[in-house]
Structure 1
Amino acid sequence: MRVVIATCSVDYSGRLEAHLPLATRLLIVKADGSVLVHSDGGSYKPLNWMSPPCSISVAEAGGADAEAGVAEVWTVQSTRTDDRLVVRVHDIIADHSADLGVDPGLVKDGVEAHLQKLLAEQIDVLGSGHQLVRREYPTAIGPVDIMARDPHGRSVAVEIKRRGDIDGVEQLTRYLELLNRDPLLAPVTGVFAAQEIRPQARVLATDRGIRCLVLDYDAMRGLDDPGSRLF
């Protein structure tokens, strides 16, 4: 992994156009080829990024770029689409590289892991006609708990929590933004599933078009019969 703090501007082109004006930012280049651009605010979500597979080339600036004070031009090109990220670096403040080795992956607590297993086995809890694609569906920013398809064959990404907070909605939002860049998967809808979903998280999820689903852990384990309850 290479971590660079630099004064730079960033231009993204592809399905949309985006521009980040000149400012000091954190640039992360991962071993898997992904490139992320962060600011010192806005939580942990990158301002822009390029997901693998992609290639990166670094060249000395010339012409108008050099006259404008640009030292290097990083060009990150997707190898599957026309998406391109161009970083014009004016000044590098810090530059550090390290080999992080093989990551063991996220270890979930017992209840979340069991909820994921139960929901994968009882995928119809999402709705009649849903089909499981895979548990722990890999992405460049971490695994999606469950990837499924709805009765119409459309992709559905599911994030599972014991208690659903705003952070969980933000996490699923990042997954959806990344997955919807893949033309083989898009459009991908989201389901935020938890034993309990906080009101603020439900409002945020609804605003972002994410469906909320409350999971009955005991019923899914076969320890409770909802039909026999008085209330």
Structure 2
Amino acid sequence: MRLVIARCSVDYVGRLTAHLPMAPRLVLIKADGSVSVHADDRAFKPLNWMNPPCSLREEPPAEDSGAIARWTVTHGKSGEQLILTIEEILHDSSHELGLDPGLRKDGVEAHLQELLAEHITTLGKGWTLIRREYPTPIGPVDILCRDHSSATVAVEIKRRGDIDGVEQLTRYLELLNRDPLIAPVRGIFAAQVIKPQAKVLATDRGIDCVTLDYDRLRGIELDGTLF
């Protein structure tokens, strides 16, 4: 991971345009190719970002711009761009983080995964389980299964479903769909509660949303029936 603290402006060029005026910001460039721009607030949420696959090109700035560098981040599929105009670099360092073991679920999420894997037909008649915790280079997806038509489906499970969970599943799907043995792979985002913004983002990316009833799934485990 490369961490850059710089005084910069950021312009997004794509389906719409957006501009961040010149200010000190943190720029994260990750090993998966993603680039995100952060302020010193808003917790973890970036001001702007580009998901992989994307490429970063560092080039000289326009003459008389007062900048020292111009970085252009281009998405490999859509062609959308983030353009960073840099006036000053305050910090620039790179660190090897290695393979992350993935998020450890809390008790409810772990049990939801276990219950849904055991009763995968909750998602539909004729569905079959391939495996729980199916590995990817960036961590395991909760469940990999097949639907009634034998199409491959990746299921990511959360207690509360928000935008970050959709982003996580999107990254998993990008990697899973590179494997010719299981591709094409579609996604299901499953949670006890799914926020409206997460549903909108999931729908936009072709991901289905499923609301899980933990008590009903536990009822299956206790008496073998859903209702």
Instruction: Give the direction of change, closer, same or farther, for the CA distance of 1:189–1:225 in structure 2 (3 Å limit).
Output: closer
- 1:81 equivalent in structure 2: 78
Contact in 1 for aligned 2:102/2:138 (Cα 8 Å):
no
Separation in 1, partners of 2:76, 2:200: 33
Aligned mate of 1:193, from 185, 191, 194: 191
In 1: Cα distance, 2:174 partner to 2:102 partner = 23
Give the distance between the partners of 2:86 and 2:109, measured in 1 at CA: 43
Q: Which moved more, 1:120-129 or 1:33-42?
A: 120-129
Is 2:116 the counterpart of 1:119?
yes
Q: What is the match of residue 223 of structure 1?
A: 222
State how far apart, in whole Å, the 2-side matches of 1:134 and 1:48 are. 35
CA deviation map 1:199-218 (0-9, x unaligned): xx767767877653323342
* Unpaired stretches in structure 1, ≥5 consecutive residues: none
Q: How many residues align?
A: 213
Measured in 1, the distance between the counterparts of 2:23 and 2:77 equals: 30
When residues 137 and 12 of structure 1 are mapped into structure 2, their CA distance, relative to the original with a 3 A threshold, is: farther
Could you say if the C-alpha distance between residues 6 and 189 of structure 1 is closer, same or farther in structure 2, counting changes exceeding 3 Å?
Answer: same
Matches within 5 A, 1:79-158: 79-109=76-106, 111-127=108-124, 145-146=142-143, 158=155
Partner amino acid for 2:191? A
Q: Who is 2:164 aligned against? A: 171
Code of the residue aligned with 2:25 in structure 1: it is R
| CA-CA distance at 1:101 after TM superposition | 2.0
Question: 1:17 offset after TM fit, Å?
Answer: 2.6
Task: Tell me the residue number matched to 1:58.
Answer: 58
Q: Secondary structure at the match of 2:67?
A: coil
Task: Tell whether the 8 Å contact from 2:28 to 2:36 is kept in structure 1 after alignment.
Answer: yes
SS class of match (2:96): coil
- Gap change, CA 1:48 and 1:202, over 3 Å in 2: closer
RMSD value, Cα? 4.1
**What SS does the corresponding residue of 2:223 show, helix, strand or coil?**
coil
Which residue does the alignment assign to 1:68? 65
Cα shift at 1:181: 10
**For the Cα contact (< 8 Å) 1:52–1:140, is it kept in 2?**
no
The whole-number CA distance in structure 2 between the counterparts of 1:2 and 1:21 is 22
Q: Which residue of 2 aligns with 1:12?
A: 12
SS of residue matched to 2:212: strand
Larger mean CA deviation between 78-87 and 28-37 belongs to 78-87
Distance in 2 between residues matched to 1:148 and 1:17, nearest whole Å: 39
Offset at 1:138? 8.1
User: For 1:146 and 1:127, how far apart are their aligned partners in 2?
Assistant: 15
1:35 Cα offset (Å): 0.9
Q: Which runs of 5+ in 2 are unaligned?
A: 178-182, 204-208
Distance 1:159 1:180, change over 3 A: closer
- TM-score, normalised to structure 2's length? 0.68
Which amino acid is 2:82 matched to? L
Q: Which amino acid aligns with 2:122?
A: V
Q: Aligned-pair distance for 1:224?
A: 2.7
